[in-house]
Amino acid sequence: MLNLIALDGPSGVGKSTTAKRLADALEWDYMDTGAMYRAVTLAFQRAGITLEDSDKVCRLLSSLDYEQKGTSYYLGDENISEAIRSPEVTKGVSAISADPRVREILVNLQRKLGQRGNWIVDGRDIGTVVFPQAVCKIFLVASPQARAQRRLLELQAKGISTTIGEVLADQERRDHLDSTREESPLRKADDAIELDSSNLGQEEVVAKIIQLFKQKNGGK
Per-residue b or e along 71-106, where b marks 16 or more CB atoms closer than 10 Å to that residue's CB = eebebeeeebbebbbbeebbebbbbbbbbeebbebb
Q: Looking at per-residue confidence, does 94 or 57 come out higher? A: 57
pLDDT at 219: 56
On the question of pLDDT at 94 being above 90, the answer is no
On the question of pLDDT at 160 being above 80, the answer is yes
Mean pLDDT of 44-55: 95
pLDDT at 60: 95
Q: State how far the alpha carbon of 155 is from the alpha carbons of 10, 94, 151, 159, 173, in Å.
A: 17, 18, 6, 6, 18
